[in-house]
Amino acid sequence: MSLVQNFPFFSIILSMFCAIVSFALSGKWAKRAHLAMTAAVLALSAGVLGFTAATGDSYTYMMGHYSAPWGNEIRIGPLESAMAVCFSLLMLLSVLGGLAHIDRDIAPSKQNLFFIQLDLMLSALLALIYTNDLFTAYVFIEICTIAACGLIMARRTGRVYVSATRYMIMSLVGSGLFLIGLSLLYAVTGQLLMSPAERALAGLVSDSRFTLPLTVIIILLVVSLGVKSGLYPFHTWIPDAYGYATPAASAVLSGLVSKGYILLLIKLMVRVLPNDNQAALNMMDVLFVLGVVGMLLGSVDAIRENDVRRMTAFSSVAQIGYIYMGLGLGTDAGVTAALFHVISHGAMKALLFLCIPGLTEVSGGRADREALRGAGYRHRLAGLGFTVGALSMIGMPLLTGFVSKYLFAAAATSAVPGKMIAAWVALAVSTTLNAVYFMRMVLVLYTSVDASHRRAEDYHASPVENAGIAGLIALNVALGVASPPVIETLARGLAVFG
């Protein structure tokens, strides 16, 4: 086994070790440790991506001396390593882009605790990406849930406690359902490693034993991860949780955390759960319908919202709907489109959430459309970033959002006719609705105002934050212009994912 094959394990352990050490560090050093660690994880993941893209195959890595099905195991392929690269890159840019606000929003004595949550969040996301073991997945879901609560409430103002509590309740319902589903799965298969569990499940399906428990397992696992990632009827925690946390936390939560659960769901659907029985097919249809409903109603909610932060948060509901619609198409092309949108939405949403505080701070701290008039002149980079993010969301060519929408539309052609028509109509209507609220916001930002409102007095943008925003703008453009290699890597990774 070559050294580079150890890198996924190194990156998980490194982020956990960084969290442990940060407990004894001051906030300043915890911040440096976090940034250095994220950069190191990015470099390690890039190495793994290079290796797996060259071999084009996946390999398993034993966590200990015992092979599957006795010991823990992680599995690494092109798809997993590509996701690890994207997640660490987005984490790095989101934290850089929100660094000055972390300093301002969080008490100095508690900043090291905030960075611990971020470190463990990254380790949990990496573990969810790489794991080939169902129970490891559950343990890291727990870490992810607690870290997300910590990130939301780190700001310690009245409103975030309510948001964190709501998030916690919904998220724990998801965790509980997932654990019950996992226990049932263990009871009917006796396996916790994914590949042996899949073989056992396939045997059960062909012998048609335990048919009812199998259906319930599929429902529980899919619904629990749907609740945790904010699928449409379970989305009520999203606007508060994303709207009031510190910007870096909002960017990480909307861009990465819900995506970690979606990736795990894709992994379960492709690698573990039987694909060809009636329950799984019906579940696909349910996901498709909920995804389409989410796409439309999330946007309608966003249109009705006057607060730009909450509007952007509601738009996440719609975007999560896109991903589930792609999964619900039930074709490989649909899953590839969903995977691309996972990355693409992370890049767009992180950019929007990082630009919003810059815009509101030059508008007297208010986030409504009235106050934001002309804010694009007062903070040019944030205005530009918001515009790029908004155009990308709508699906302007040369930006990453366009590629996602194109992939969804193309994937729909190979689906059954009913789904194809529904997906196209939903894409068209949802794009129009996206345009309504995002273009309205961009127009508000660049409404001409008199000269006295064109300059923000005593506002100094932090250069580090500007670097983060600039990096995310570049990422949006890069993903939009140079998407073919990314899509090809994802498609090839998906082929060896199962």
Give the residues lining the site for another protein (CB under 8 A).
1, 6, 9, 13, 16-17, 19-21, 23-24, 61-66, 69-72, 107-110, 113-114, 116-117, 120, 123, 127, 133, 135-136, 139-140, 142-143, 146-147, 149-150, 153-154, 156, 180, 184, 186-191, 200, 210, 212-213, 216
Residue 3: CB atoms within 10 A of its CB come to 9
Q: Are 210 and 119 in contact (CB under 8 A)?
A: no
C-beta of 175 vs 404, nearer to another protein: 175
CB 119 within 8 A of CB 40: no
Given the complex with another protein, which of 260 and 334 has the nearer CB atom? 260
- For residues 315 and 59, the answer to whether their CB atoms sit within 8 Å is no
* CB-CB neighbours of 451 under 10 Å: 7
DSSP H/E element including 59:
strand 59-62
Report the residue number, 152 or 362, with the smaller CB distance to another protein. 152
Least separation in angstroms between CB 294 and another protein: 20
Output phi, psi for 154, to 5 deg.
Answer: -60, -25
Nearer to another protein, 24 or 451 (CB): 24
CB of 433 to another protein, least distance (A): 26
Nearest approach in angstroms of CB 125 to another protein is: 13
375 backbone dihedrals φ, ψ, rounded to 5°: -65, -25
Angle at 336 between CA 277 and CA 214, to 5 degrees: 20
In the complex, the smallest distance separating the C-beta of residue 161 from another protein, rounded to whole angstroms, is 9
Question: Nearer to another protein by C-beta: 135 or 424?
Answer: 135
| C-alpha span between 358 and 386 (Å, rounded) | 10
Min dist CB 267 to another protein, Å, is: 17
The residue type found at 353 is: F
Q: Which CB sits closer to another protein, 219 or 491?
A: 219
Q: How far is the CB of 388 from another protein (least distance, A)?
A: 34
Q: Which is nearer to another protein, 282 or 413 (CB)?
A: 282
Task: Using the structure block, give the residue that is written with the tokens 């948060």.
Answer: 313
Residue by residue, DSSP assigns 408-424 as: HHHHHHTS-HHHHHHHH
CA–CA dist 164, 154 (Å, integer):
10
Nearer to another protein, 75 or 373 (CB): 75
DSSP letter, residue 73: E
Q: How far apart are CA 360 and CA 165, in angstroms?
A: 26
Q: Report in angstroms the alpha-carbon separations of 333 from 413, 465, 479.
A: 10, 37, 18
What are the counts of helices (DSSP H) followed by strands (DSSP E) for the chain? 21, 2
Q: Which amino acid is at 369?
A: R
- Comparison of 140 and 408: residue with beta carbon closer to another protein: 140
Please report how close the Cβ of residue 440 comes to another protein at its closest, in angstroms: 29
To another protein, the closest distance from the beta carbon of 67 in angstroms equals 9
| Helix orientation angle between 111-130 and 134-153, rounded to the nearest 10 degrees | 150
The least CB distance from residue 332 to another protein, in Å, is 30
The single-letter DSSP state of residue 451 is G
- The rounded distance, in Å, linking the Cα atoms of 170 and 104 is 29
**Angle formed by the axes of helices 332-361 and 380-394, nearest 10°:** 150
Tell me how far, at minimum, the Cβ of 444 lies from another protein, in Å.
Answer: 32
Q: Which is nearer to another protein, 149 or 359 (CB)?
A: 149
Cis before residue 247, ω within 30 degrees of 0? no
Least distance (Å) from another protein to the CB of residue 213? 5
Choose between 110 and 304: whose C-beta lies nearer to another protein. Answer: 110
Q: Are 360 and 308 in contact (CB under 8 A)?
A: yes
